[in-house]
Structure 1
Amino acid sequence: MQNDMDKTQFFCEYYKQWIEIYKRGAIREATMAKYLMTQKWLEKLIPELKVEELTRTAYQQLLNDYAKEHERQTTLDFHHQLKGAILDALDEGMIKRDPTRKAIIKGKTPRAKKIKYLNQFELHTLLADLELKETPDWDWFLLLVAKTGMRFSEALAITPEDFDFSRQTLSISKTWDYKGAGGFLPTKNKSSVRKIQIDWQIVVKFSELIKNLPQDQPIFVGESKIYNSTVNNILSRHCKECGISEISIHGLRHTHASLLLFAGVSIASVARRLGHASMTTTQKTYLHIIQELENKDVDLVMRTLSGL
């Protein structure tokens, strides 16, 4: 850290410099935005607290004040984003003891969770309601996400040359910077670079749809800026028209994964198809489904053993 950083410095200023030195350029912009938001909360909650005054009590009070307006998980994320900077300050001798030790994480009662995915009947109903025209539009986009489980930014970055219709595969190797100025960006992680199998319906429909499009240009990106909310509103409208549960575009990814798991596809295969960094991510995200499947397995085991 810079020499002008001393223990009489305001902690919010120290943290601002810390994220610029250690985080800027080392993490994705979306993650950087979270650190910057944490910095704004420090400026709001403890604008004049000096680094040397950051005791366990002062830190716990900071967490408590933050927790008044946030759920427990969000408060835990806030704590994790601060801890790295605080431990560095400890290493540099700016504070004497670790104020994050034994921190208690509180938070508001979580809101009722919305339904995140559709069942097989609902998905079939949704896809039947899509109006697939001769040129690419958001209905085609919804079909592709539902059939592949891609992330929103991944699907936006798909170009005609990413399809290999002879092998029935789709290559996912980039994302689209829809939150920024546009353009291609790397995938979320190395595991997100992948080739996934596509069904014959997608092969037939998309081979016709994209045959005259530029091979290296995104299929669904035009000249105007793209907003996630725009596509969510279109999906929501379709759900209302069909009389099914309203979900987000990310909910289509959950739907895709859920149907595969219920169909008996292994967690490892689903993780690879979704581009998860590890199976642990898949297990945490779809724990409720995995537990339901385990209950079914118990019934199957008992029926099998009873027949011996």
Structure 2
Amino acid sequence: MASFQRYSTKKGQMWLFKTRTVIDPSTGKAKQTTRRGFKTKKEAIKAANKFEQEIESGLSLQYDSLTFQDVFDQWYANHSKTIKVSTKKRIESMFKKHILPRFGRLKLKEITRSYCQNMINEIAESVSSVNDIKIQANQVFKYATKMDVILKNPLDHVTVPKQKKEFINEPGQTEDRKYWKKDELKKFLAITKQELSLRDHACFQLLIYTGARKGEILALTWDDIDFEVGSVKLSKTLFHAEGKHIFQTSKTKESRRLISLDPQTLELLKKLRIEQKKDNLALMSTNKENIVFTRDGSLPLRASYLNEKLNILIRKHNLHRITIHGLRHTHASLLFEAGASIKEVQERLGHSDIQMTMNIYTHVTDYLKEKTAEKFQRYIEL
């Protein structure tokens, strides 16, 4: 049974509680613990009741001093063995930049829900990937509850606030559209054909005409392309780490897929293969890994190369700003406009979750609704 006592500090009167805990095997006597820093006796009683419930539930005091960093190290030692190199790099960066500086030194049992909510609010003010950060931090707390280090997960019921830009429509703000419309796409491909090398033009065309991820395109080998059938096999991704390139298998079975290619893109790839062979003969180099899009004769293109090229062309020609991933979104959007079903688009893009496909479909149907209104207006004006 806990006892309570008031004591004086520079900040004023505070409360503490003392209680006996588990039996110390070396002495055979119950240990006594003291907890301080409560503003009122009511707070001290509440904390004492919670503490005694934890002891009765079998939570050992050996966990009292464990910090978030301690538990993270245990969790990640196991978790890192189950994920790919690219995922490791992303997770390590997230913890190093955002999570460990805020939670690392804190004792796990002292981390409250209100503290977690404040931290998530703070991160959300400057980081768009706050949802991902919360998910990763939550993995550590879930591990701690599983291992009986804590009774409850303090991140449960913590919400991610919407960012200001979701509420405020700034004067002159442009449409937040992450894809190109058909006329914009045709203009871009005309520019790449005129201004870029055959390799770069073919690479952008393949991205646009397949909707594949950048890593999937850069990992392609000539064996993946069947010129007779007219198809491309997407089963791996390219990842750069410590100056080396690594080919990783696709994350999900849905990502490993065989999709059709149009005759125009196939013809472009045939020309690229011929040009590549001629260049290799001239340079006396060999493309041992049989990579489709190479630099220096045999190495795959850098992951950031296409981003740089795209940004240069967007600035130069004042195009609507999108990212490389936006080309994938563009492919899906135009497929829907052309009449493809949700299932067809999901399979072509390799989405494991149909909700991802549905989100794109929602954007496109909004656009088609606008077109319906225009059709009605033209009919009335006839």
TM-score range, shorter chain: 0.7 to 0.9
Is the contact between residue 69 and residue 107 of structure 1 (CA under 8 Å) also seen in structure 2? no
Distance (Å, rounded) in 2 between the aligned partners of 1:241 and 1:129: 11
Distance (Å, rounded) in 2 between the aligned partners of 1:128 and 1:233: 18
What's the TM-score, normalizing by structure 1?
0.82
Distance (Å, rounded) in 2 between the aligned partners of 1:179 and 1:298: 51
Deviations 1:273-307 (A, max 9, x none): 1111132221124431144447778999xxxxxxx
Deviations 1:243-298 (A, max 9, x none): 43233222221111111111111111111111111322211244311444477789
1:237 aligned residue: 312
Which of 236, 245, 254 does residue 191 from structure 1 map onto? 254
Is the contact between residue 149 and residue 256 of structure 1 (CA under 8 Å) also seen in structure 2? yes
Do the aligned partners of residues 84 and 166 (structure 1) sit closer, same or farther apart at CA in structure 2, a change above 3 Å counting? same
Do the aligned partners of residues 265 and 5 (structure 1) sit closer, same or farther apart at CA in structure 2, a change above 3 Å counting? farther
Which of 142, 158, 166 does residue 220 from structure 2 map onto? 158
- The 5-angstrom pairing of residues 99-178 of structure 1 reads 99-106=154-161, 108-110=163-165, 114-131=176-193, 137-178=199-240
Deviations 1:134-164 (A, max 9, x none): 9852222112111211111111111222111
SS at match of 2:314: helix
Distance (Å, rounded) in 2 between the aligned partners of 1:242 and 1:42: 40
Deviations 1:175-207 (A, max 9, x none): 122355203211132111111111111222222
1:282 aligned residue: 357
Which of 93, 96, 99 does residue 37 from structure 1 map onto? 93
Which of 108, 113, 137 does residue 82 from structure 1 map onto? 137
Is the contact between residue 221 and residue 290 of structure 2 (CA under 8 Å) also seen in structure 1? yes
Is the contact between residue 161 and residue 216 of structure 1 (CA under 8 Å) also seen in structure 2? no
Give the CA deviation at 1:132: 7.0
Structure with more strand by fraction: 2
Do the aligned partners of residues 190 and 4 (structure 1) sit closer, same or farther apart at CA in structure 2, a change above 3 Å counting? farther
Give the CA deviation at 1:24: 0.3
2:322 aligned residue: 247
The amino acid of 1:75's aligned partner reads V
Matched, 1:49 2:106: yes
Give the CA deviation at 1:173: 1.6
Is the contact between residue 75 and residue 106 of structure 1 (CA under 8 Å) also seen in structure 2? no
1:16 aligned residue: 73
Give the CA deviation at 1:96: 2.9
Which of 10, 13, 25 does residue 81 from structure 2 map onto? 25
Do the aligned partners of residues 49 and 30 (structure 1) sit closer, same or farther apart at CA in structure 2, a change above 3 Å counting? same
Query: RMSD in angstroms over aligned alpha carbons?
Result: 3.2
Which residues of structure 2 form unaligned runs of 5+?
1-59, 167-172, 278-286, 376-382
Which residues of structure 1 form unaligned runs of 5+?
301-308
Distance (Å, rounded) in 1 between the aligned partners of 2:62 and 2:294: 46
2:126 aligned residue: 69
What's the TM-score, normalizing by structure 2?
0.67
Give the CA deviation at 1:26: 1.3
Do the aligned partners of residues 116 and 62 (structure 1) sit closer, same or farther apart at CA in structure 2, a change above 3 Å counting? closer
The amino acid of 1:24's aligned partner reads S
Greater Rg by CA: 2
Is the contact between residue 160 and residue 216 of structure 1 (CA under 8 Å) also seen in structure 2? no
Distance (Å, rounded) in 1 between the aligned partners of 2:82 and 2:314: 40
Q: How many residue pairs align between the two structures?
A: 295
Matched, 1:97 2:155: no
SS at match of 1:233: helix
Distance (Å, rounded) in 2 between the aligned partners of 1:87 and 1:229: 35
Give the CA deviation at 1:33: 3.1
Which of 241, 252, 258 does residue 333 from structure 2 map onto? 258
Do the aligned partners of residues 267 and 38 (structure 1) sit closer, same or farther apart at CA in structure 2, a change above 3 Å counting? same
Tell me which of the two structures has the higher relative contact order, counting C-alpha pairs closer than 8 angstroms and 6 or more residues apart.
Answer: 1
Deviations 1:98-140 (A, max 9, x none): 3223223235424777542211111111112223799852222
Do the aligned partners of residues 65 and 189 (structure 1) sit closer, same or farther apart at CA in structure 2, a change above 3 Å counting? same
The amino acid of 1:245's aligned partner reads H
Percent of residue pairs bearing the same amino acid type: 27
